Amino acid sequence: MNSGKASLMTNFSHLKLLIFSTAFFLMLVFIWPAPGFSETSEKISKILNSFITWRNVGPATPGGRTVDIDVVEKQPSIIYAAVGPSGVWKSENNGLSWYPVFQREATVSVGAVAVAQSSPNIIWVGTGESTSRNSVTLGDGVYKSTDGGKTWTNMGLKDTRHISRIIINRGDPNIVYVAAMGHLWGPNSERGVYKTIDGGKTWAKVLYINENTGICDLEIDPADSQIIYAAAYEHRRMPYRMISGGPGSGLYKSSDGGNTWNRLKQDLPEGIMGRIGLAVARSKPGVIYALIEHQDPGIWRSEDYGQTWKRTCDAKTYKNVNNRPFYYSQIYVDPSDDRTIYVQSTGLYVSNDMGQKFRAIGQGTHSDHHAFWIDPLNPLHLIDGNDGGIDITYDGGKSWFPVTSIDAAEVYQVGFDFSQPYRVYCGLQDNGCWGGPSNSLDTRGILNEHWEFISGGDGFFVRPDPKNNFIIYANSQNNGLVKKDLRHGLAKSIRPEAPLNEPPYRFNWNAPIMISPHDNNVIYCAGNVLFKSRDGGYSWEKISPDLTTNDPKKMIDGVGPITMENSGAEVHCTITAIAESPVKPGILWCGTDDGNIQVSQDSGQSWVNVTKTIPGLPKNSWCSRIEASHFDPGTAYVSFDNHRSDDYSPYVYKTTDFGRSWKSIKANLPNFGWIHVIREHPFNKNLLFVGTEFGIYASYNSGLSWIELKDTNLPTVAVHDIAIHPRENDLIIGTHGRGIWILDDINYLSELKEEILNSDFYLFSIKDTTSFIMTSRGEPFGVFGFSGKNPAVVANITYLLRNDLSGDYRIKIIDQAEETLVELPLNKKAGLNRTTWNLQFIPKASDGKKYVMSGIMSIMCSVLPGDYQVLIKLGEKEYKTELKVLPDPRFSFDTEALKQQYQVVGDLTKINNLYAKAVAAAKNISRSLDGVEAELKKIEEAKSRVAIENSLKEFRGKYQEVSEIFQTEGTLVGLSIPYKDFLRGPLNLKILALMQSIAQFPGPPTPEEIRQVKEIGDLVSVTINKLNNFIQQDLPEFNKFLQSNGINQIEKPKLIAIND
């Protein structure tokens, strides 16, 4: 026998830290042996990922950065949207609802989407976002779908990494041009303009400038497909600077389908250019606009296919409508009016005079705009893609419809509190910080309305006070730190600031904050130094010197050389990761964006740089996370993200001696995919999780090997943060592109024991389960913009089978009186299995018997809070584990009152059971009577037929008197029943309504309900007795009459035993 207790107590001081020496990986290797390691790992992954199911909880009110839009012009209700790190989404109803069509590929970072208008089921996607901001991620070439996005094939160009535009020949969908930006963080040659004439089977690089210059825009003449324009863009990102512009930038034209190119210079500005946006006029061939970043920037227009140009927008106007050229530089021409143009940046602007004057039309939309579509048949119909998602207008921008059904939130960090049920929190790219329920307790699901806005800006860390759930610490970019009280919604800024006589502090774009695991009043935050507050953020002290390299070469303007910008995204030489040992207060760790790992064992009085002891780590690698062990004060884990140096490898290490030595635990993690976060399970020191740019992985042996936790519903997505809720043992991930996902109840992963190795069967312990009462909290018939899935209110009974079973095996739920409340079927398939119990049972009636519920609904009572046992018997072996049911904290439970409820519901179940038997008997008699009537029609002799009809009518009258309450035809709809019955309500529905009302409310039945139950019980009993008498006396006599007239007799139903 094995046993276990699943409760993870809220009070940390009472948590028993379970240290398991045997890893799940080794367990599965033993149970499912395979010839080789790779084959074994593959089988383990298959077993695990066929069992787990993630659930997405949102949020979706703030959408994701939408970077390209294309529409089927002949059927404009079909829209495709490329949402930066979130894949491609499709709407088939003008944007009312959306679904992802590009989400499981090797990468889902997208920069371009294009529909072949001559064959609209052909869709091309260019991967790798091209906005060039600090948080964008890369792609692996171009994909093609020939079935409207149902399936995709990678068509090559994998090392282009970032694709800005795809142009499909309007007459021949096999001719496609791709504008490739190339590597953002380093030089490479696979960039420029690529062309295929065979639908992507082969490619030719038709325009190449140099290894630092890509193509940021591409246009084709609407009347002459041989004329193509390309905007070349020299650019490079480094961890501390964005280079936008250089000698490679410029404007190019081909007049022979891309075979040869000429650089356009006449009338255009001389000197270094930056990013250029292009737009051609469909209504007037030969007209092209260029939006040019330059020391003297502006908009230029050509009316002769680029041979000559005229400036139509001055520098001042340009700077107003395109104020961050590297991030925006998007220009569009109205398809029906060559003088009307649109420009996107931190606003959406339109000009009706070729760019001389602009007016804003994006009021009510997000302020960062990247994608635009103008309906060629209705120029007032516009679709705007921005950092907040997608907005649609049909009146030229006077009013906008926001799309709130796409779960594309770009999460940086996640947090949780200890409310019941707990809430999750997240910081989002340019969409602030939010909090929402892990379970809304609303039968409609987790909706947009359930999410609460916490603070603005680019949201990052959100940390609720573990003892006061209403107190939230949250920060935006560069540690815009606030303390918010959710009871009234007021927030106070508490960011530490340097005195004016000292150098200002440097805070990273994604500056870390932390609440001490030992004292909820102790708060840490970090810039170039570590700060500590002992009073919840009202005062701060520096507890470290500058822990970075403090390299002056990296403390410069963030963007240049043309347009100078300092948004804070490039602030460098900062602390990016902090941790305090949960085992011993005062052991502090800090990691920096320039490669330092520093540790203090005396609350910050002294620090040791332990970076040099880390083997194989490239110099100046960005520290993405530090995790201090929950078990040993000298043990910590650290991950590094070096993709900002064009290095996409994973770097993850472990120390057990305060950093004096480190070992790599990369093991079999994919070589391509940097690491954002590492976490250790708080109750199993061998169980680790890492979040990479492309997914989440688990190790059951302290990093000796890793398994991807993907399952069938988690999309390809960057996992930026991981949290494990210590009370619920839920695994929570924050994804940069698809919001927050939760893997509920991972006891089967974290509570492992050695005896499972040789067991044919193992029953895992069950976590404490709260009997939450779910209700609908709003309009049940509306179309919800987004609906996340709530966890089922069930106890999860999880077990491992070595081999398939045959036979009938049951799971028994036993109460404290050692009575079996419920029996559930045992799954018999080898592997991990889970049976759920809904915490309900059918209570006994007053006579001490339990009756089976009959009818269309199965209504049961919720069990009392308390301790139960789960028992499984396999042959001679018994397996038991404890199950604790906790009460819904919103209700006060009266045990005696609930026992009264149980008895009344038990009696109603008996009444329902008897009623159902009577209904069945009545239906059989009614069908037989209908048969008699059919036979009467065959009697030709009128006198005999009339005599029999009269007898039948008399018999029907007697039958009607004893069976009227058992006639249920039409009662479910309720429209075809007589007026008097309608007022009182059909008896069958009355019984169900009473059961539902009494059983589904956590209290005793009302006196009115008790009276109704008694009256209905008496009525049913009396009427059944009458029906029994009718069956015993009237029916045999009438059958004799039928027999004497040569008519088939009515089959006699069984008598209904009331007290059986």
Task: Look over the chain and give the mean of its residue pLDDT values, rounded to a whole number.
Answer: 93
Q: Per-residue pLDDT tens for 272-310?
A: 999 999 999 999 999 999 999 999 999 999 999 999 999
pLDDT bracket for residue 847 (50, 70, 90): very high
What gap in Å lies between CA 25 and CA 993, rounded to an integer?
51
pLDDT bracket for residue 17 (50, 70, 90): very low
**Beta strands 462-464 and 861-862: pairing type?**
unpaired
Over the range 666-677, which residues count as b (16 or more CB within 10 Å of their CB) and which as e?
beebbeebbbbb
> Residue 816 carries which DSSP code?
T
Q: What is the DSSP string of 327-366?
A: T--EEEE-TT-TT-EEEESSSEEEESSTTSS-EE--TTS-
pLDDT bracket for residue 893 (50, 70, 90): confident
Q: Per-residue pLDDT tens for 526-561?
A: 999 999 999 999 999 999 999 999 999 999 999 999
What gap in Å lies between CA 81 and CA 114, rounded to an integer?
10
Q: Per-residue pLDDT tens for 628-653?
A: 999 999 999 999 999 999 999 999 99
pLDDT at 20 over 80: no
Q: Which residue has the tokens 């090392």?
A: 159
- 11-19 long-range Cβ contacts below 8 angstroms, 24+ apart: 12/517, 12/726, 15/682, 15/683, 15/726, 17/630, 17/631, 17/682, 17/683, 18/683, 18/684, 18/750, 18/751, 19/631, 19/684, 19/685
Task: Write the CB contacts of 455 (distance below 8 Å, at least 6 apart in sequence).
Answer: 432, 433, 474, 475, 476, 480, 482, 484, 491
Helix (H) or strand (E) holding 848: none
Categorise residue 960: left if φ over 0, alpha if ψ from -120 to 50, beta otherwise. Answer: alpha
pLDDT bracket for residue 26 (50, 70, 90): very low
Res 570: pLDDT: 98
Q: Contact at 8 Å (CB) between 955 and 947?
A: no
Q: What are phi and psi of 951, to 5 degrees?
A: -65, -40
What gap in Å lies between CA 385 and CA 210, rounded to an integer?
31
Q: Contact at 8 Å (CB) between 564 and 557?
A: yes
Please calculate the CA angle 991-995-999 and round it to the nearest 5 degrees. 175
pLDDT bracket for residue 974 (50, 70, 90): low
Over the range 784-810, which residues count as b (16 or more CB within 10 Å of their CB) and which as e?
bbbbbbbbebbbbbbbbbbeebeeeee
Residue 456, exposed/middle/buried by CB under 10 A (0-12, 13-18, 19+)?
middle
Pair of tokens at residue 40: 């074994």
Task: Write the CB contacts of 254 (distance below 8 Å, at least 6 apart in sequence).
Answer: 206, 207, 226, 227, 228, 230, 260, 261, 262
Q: Per-residue pLDDT tens for 611-621?
A: 999 999 999 99
pLDDT bracket for residue 6 (50, 70, 90): very low
Percent of the residues in the chain that have a pLDDT greater than 90, as a whole number: 85
What gap in Å lies between CA 819 and CA 821, rounded to an integer?
6
Predicted TM-score (pTM) of this structure: 0.94
What gap in Å lies between CA 413 and CA 740, rounded to an integer?
10
Res 28: pLDDT: 41
Say how many CA atoms lie within 13 Å of 284 toward its Cβ: 15
Flag the least confident range among 422-431, 783-792, 918-927. 783-792
Q: Per-residue pLDDT tens for 69-118?
A: 999 999 999 999 999 999 999 999 999 999 999 999 999 999 999 999 99
Res 21: pLDDT: 31
Strand partners, 302: 288
pLDDT at 13 over 50: no
Helices (H) and strands (E) in the chain, counts: 10, 70
Res 784: pLDDT: 67
Coil, strand or helix: which one is 66? strand
Strand partners, 696: 691
What gap in Å lies between CA 653 and CA 636, rounded to an integer?
8
Q: Per-residue pLDDT tens for 466-484?
A: 999 999 999 999 999 999 9
pLDDT at 973 over 60: no
What gap in Å lies between CA 842 and CA 878, rounded to an integer?
25
pLDDT at 580 over 60: yes
The interaxial angle of helices 1007-1029 and 942-963, nearest 10 deg, is 150
Q: Per-residue pLDDT tens for 1005-1056?
A: 999 999 999 999 999 999 999 999 999 999 999 999 989 888 989 999 999 9
Mean of the pLDDT values across residues 57-76? Answer: 97
> Residue 979 carries which DSSP code?
H
Beta strands in 389-479 (DSSP E): 389-393, 401-402, 411-416, 423-428, 432-437, 446-447, 452-455, 462-464, 471-476
What gap in Å lies between CA 24 and CA 51, rounded to an integer?
15
pLDDT bracket for residue 971 (50, 70, 90): low
Q: Contact at 8 Å (CB) between 732 and 723?
A: yes
What gap in Å lies between CA 651 and CA 653, rounded to an integer?
7
Q: Per-residue pLDDT tens for 673-691?
A: 999 999 999 999 999 999 9
pLDDT bracket for residue 159 (50, 70, 90): very high
Q: Per-residue pLDDT tens for 405-417?
A: 999 999 999 999 9
> Residue 71 carries which DSSP code?
E
Pair of tokens at residue 92: 């088939």
What gap in Å lies between CA 318 and CA 320, rounded to an integer?
5
The sign of the dihedral angle between the CA atoms of 396, 402, 406, 410 is positive
Percent of the residues in the chain that have a pLDDT greater than 70, as a whole number: 94
Task: Write the CB contacts of 973 (distance below 8 Å, at least 6 apart in sequence).
Answer: none
pLDDT at 370 over 70: yes
pLDDT bracket for residue 9 (50, 70, 90): very low
Res 19: pLDDT: 29
Closest to 371 in 3D by CA, of 361, 379, 383, 360: 383
More confident residue, 447 or 752: 447
Q: Contact at 8 Å (CB) between 515 and 537?
A: no
Q: Per-residue pLDDT tens for 930-970?
A: 898 888 888 878 888 888 889 999 999 999 999 988 888 76
Closest to 907 in 3D by CA, of 866, 850, 865: 850
**Beta strands 820-825 and 810-814: pairing type?**
antiparallel
What gap in Å lies between CA 234 and CA 240, rounded to an integer?
17
pLDDT bracket for residue 977 (50, 70, 90): confident
Closest to 913 in 3D by CA, of 1010, 838, 810, 844: 844
Res 856: pLDDT: 61
What gap in Å lies between CA 67 and CA 85, rounded to an integer?
10
pLDDT bracket for residue 1060 (50, 70, 90): low
Res 782: pLDDT: 72
Pair of tokens at residue 9: 């107590």
pLDDT at 975 over 90: no
What gap in Å lies between CA 152 and CA 103, rounded to an integer?
10
Closest to 687 in 3D by CA, of 728, 643, 722: 722
Q: Contact at 8 Å (CB) between 1016 and 966?
A: no
* Three-state SS annotation for 730-776: EEEEEEECCEEEEECCCHHHHCCCHHHCCCCEEECCCCCEEECCCEC
Pair of tokens at residue 760: 């044919």
Res 783: pLDDT: 61
Res 753: pLDDT: 60
What gap in Å lies between CA 748 and CA 731, rounded to an integer?
12
Res 758: pLDDT: 67
Q: Which residue has the tokens 């509570």?
A: 751
What gap in Å lies between CA 42 and CA 697, rounded to an integer?
13
